[in-house]
Structure 1
Amino acid sequence: MRNAILPLLFLAFAGCAKGPVATTTELVAQDSLCTSPDGWHAVVQRDPKFVVFGELHGTREAPAFFGSLACSLATDGEVILIAIEFSPYHDDALQEAWNSDEEDFENLLLQAGWRGRRDGVGSEAMFELVRDLHRLRMAGHAIDITAFNGAGSEDQREKFAHLPGQGPHEAAQAENVANAAEKRSYDRVLVLVGNLHAQKQPIDFGRGAFDPMAMRLGAYGSVLSLNVKYDAGTSWSCQLRADFDPKTDGSPTDADIECGPHPAGATGFFDRKAFIEVVDQTPDSAGTSFDGFFWLGPITASPPKAPTEDEIMR
């Protein structure tokens, strides 16, 4: 089947790109275009309902890796759901964009949580990921999308209010993904989220241990969760300015937050292109936070797609 759709795929993923900015697939490992990474077969052997990719926000490479895999599965005929870490309050706008034609899509997508964001979640690379997968959907491939980040209603907020620490947010994330997954018979649900939420063991920041999203998601179906590993580079994030001193400056304000490319130290060293490694299931691995990792290589910061006017002027 792959050979029959390759001309269409090149048109959908590359031919429609505008200007010099690289598309999602062009940013994936040098010789990849709409391919599953090495090691994906180990995920398929586990046959999870949900595959969670715990990323570092604000890189070009993580959305590119995720997008290439999603493209490969969809063009192989799988029915897939993409879950992105945007507020469920933006999901209606996201669905409107997803169901629009190519001419209206980008403007509608900007209204679905991108406009005005300064952090790495609303990055150019994330925007390109969704745009490119929408082009595949318009070409007839079975790709759906959902926004799941946190409570989407007061009822949902109250439902999980009894949980300690960050538990209510994590539980709402998991329920939102699970609810979206029930709307159709999906071959696979792919979740792209910050790697804190992707953990499968309780976390305690001192306000009571809570179950992260991926751990909660296990109540709705089998979960395989992968942590990101990368070589040194940069990521786009919002951090307190280096000279901020709470003793003299008090509580931080927006003016004390600096958004931009920040150094990111290496979390792994592999002299090879992007790949997945799944850890063997043993008694010793039962208490680990992840089922494996995905390797990106060196990372580079991806700036916001549609920052505020103040951010543009900085």
Structure 2
Amino acid sequence: MECKATWRRWLLAALMAVSIVSYARPPASAGSDIADAAQAIHTHAGAHRLILLGELHGTREIPELVRLLATRYAAQGPVLLALEMPHREQASLNAYLSSNGDAHARATLRARALWQRADTDHDGRRSEEMLELIEAMRVLRGQGRDVAMLAYDTAADAPRNDANARDRFMAEVVRAAHGALPRGRLLVLGGNVHAMLERPGYAPPQMPVPMGAYLRDLQPVSVRIGAAAGEFWACRQPRPCGALAVDGSPGHTGPQPMPYTFGVMLERMSVARLIGRADDAENRRAVGP
């Protein structure tokens, strides 16, 4: 675990001054249901500054939803987007946000060990869509918006002898970021269990206290993002990592009972263009230079 002084260094790095750069490609247009979901979260959150976005990993749609939400908030004030990435990736995020987004910058970011996973060990968080979300944040900075990104997860090789250590660590990093951001919004994208505000009664014995439970005093909005149909990509023991069918939760868009405060339902989710899979070469051709 890192000390709080080190977290402060990450936060100072994440909240660096805006660097004006250009953008070569316009973002893809979002489906109406994704735009409606972003609008619903924005409306429900009101003046709340901390928004926990509980996702199903490995979809094409959720990074686009987050992009739309971050764009809305960036038009109003500072935005810090926190991603469930190892904290050691903070420097690479900062470097990319300050780059011109050219082929060299993209290749340098993509070459990081974070983005290298085999099919058998791919939990869905590493996709072309997530890289496009990072690029979209760089574009917002290039437009003069006050935005930054934060990598808030533990290292993949961190000791796991304490079942609660990871979520507690993530919560402490998010709390420090919230305190360092005097105004604006802190959007935290992570797995839907991490976004819970309490450990539910139906939780299996091995489930840790979720990150959101440690942050309840900050009055966060906790959003569960679901879909009526489709698939996402995840690793669920004892089955190998792979595509899983969505279960139709949370059922409707609107306020939700604990352990969340709100939920949005997309029409459909589809498996992301996962980096490192056998079809990654085709993904690269689809994305282009």
Pair in the same fold by TM > 0.5 = yes
Q: How does 1:137-286 map to 2 (within 5 A)?
A: 137-150=141-154, 166-202=163-199, 205-207=204-206, 210-219=208-217, 221-238=218-235, 257-259=240-242, 261-267=243-249, 277-279=254-256
Cα distance in 2 for partners of 1:151, 1:179 equals 18
- TM superposition shift of 1:30: 6.5
Deviations 1:33-92 (A, max 9, x none): 9x9413522210xx3231001010011111111110111111x23101000010112112
Cα distance in 1 for partners of 2:221, 2:33 equals 27
Deviations 1:164-205 (A, max 9, x none): 953110010111122233334331100111001011112654
Aligned-residue sequence identity (percent) comes to 21
Aligned to 1:56: 56
Cα distance in 2 for partners of 1:241, 1:311 equals 25
Report the CA distance shift for 1:106/1:199 in structure 2 as closer, same or farther (over 3 A). same
TM-score normalised by structure 2 residue count: 0.75
Contact 2:101 2:135 in 1 (8 A): no
Question: Any idea what SS the aligned residue of 1:173 has?
Answer: helix
Aligned to 1:248: none
Is residue 70 of structure 1 aligned with residue 70 of structure 2?
yes
Aligned match for 2:127, one of 123, 126, 133: 123
Listed as ranges, the gaps of 5+ residues in structure 1 are: 1-10, 18-22, 243-256, 271-275, 280-284
Contact 1:123 1:303 in 2 (8 A): yes
Is residue 292 of structure 1 aligned with residue 269 of structure 2?
no
Contact 1:53 1:225 in 2 (8 A): yes
Which of structures 1 and 2 has the bigger CA Rg? 1
Structure having greater relative contact order (Cα 8 Å, sep ≥ 6): 2
Aligned to 1:254: none
Equivalent residue letter for 1:59: T
Cα distance in 2 for partners of 1:32, 1:199 equals 24
Contact 1:174 1:213 in 2 (8 A): yes
Cα distance in 1 for partners of 2:139, 2:190 equals 22
TM-score normalised by structure 1 residue count: 0.69
Is residue 26 of structure 1 aligned with residue 29 of structure 2?
yes
Deviations 1:250-286 (A, max 9, x none): xxxxxxx354x3333322556xxxxx5235xxxxx5x
Cα distance in 1 for partners of 2:80, 2:263 equals 21
Equivalent residue letter for 1:49: R
Cα distance in 2 for partners of 1:135, 1:311 equals 25
Aligned to 1:40: 42
Cα distance in 1 for partners of 2:186, 2:171 equals 12
Equivalent residue letter for 1:234: E
- TM superposition shift of 1:241: 8.5
Deviations 1:85-114 (A, max 9, x none): 101121122222222222243223324554
Identify the range of structure 1 (232-241 vs 117-126) with the bigger mean alpha-carbon deviation. 232-241
Calculate the aligned-residue CA RMSD, in Å: 3.3
Question: Any idea what SS the aligned residue of 2:85 has?
Answer: coil
Cα distance in 2 for partners of 1:98, 1:119 equals 25
